[in-house]
A = this chain, B = another copy of it.
Amino acid sequence: MIDLDDTDRALLRALAEDATVSAGALGRRFGLSQPAAWRRIRRLEEAGVIVGRRVVVDREALGFGVTVFLGVKLATKGRVSLEDFERAVTAIPEVQVVQHVLGLFDYRLRVVARDIADFERVLRRRIMTLPGVGQVEANVLLTEEKRPGPLG
């Protein structure tokens, strides 16, 4: 649990927004030399604050225009039920995220589909047939805004 100064936070915020900028460009933006900026970034990686770099894929450009969030309550609890459910749900290609949660539901899923008809197919043939599924609640995504979040 390293603590960061304002410059570290600025670098982190910039890289979380766009990781294609070079260390030299970041240094110029925040008043550091290229090696200084580079050393700070490497320090953030070594400290486990930066855990990887990913490309962001636009699902709509691939024809997946529908995103639905599902809350799933299991009818049967217990260790085996959780493991069975998790194994089965991770085998569904349309499921992007599986969150084990505490509260009214046991799992939250992020599911993508080509359109609503395609989503109904996924829901009926894939989701509702999962082992131990009880109550299911759905929310269809309209717009999504991601923000940097707190950094220390």
Contact = CB atoms under 8 A, between A and B. Distances in A.
Oligomer copy total? 2
Interface in A98-114: 98-105, 108, 112
Contacts of A102: 139-140, 142
A94 B150 contact: yes
Residue of A17, A96, A99, A150 with highest tally of chain B CB at under 10 A: A150
A52 B56 contact: yes
17 contacts: A16-B54, A18-B52, A18-B54, A47-B61, A50-B57, A51-B57, A52-B55, A53-B55, A62-B150, A64-B149, A95-B149, A96-B147, A100-B142, A102-B142, A103-B137, A104-B137, A112-B150
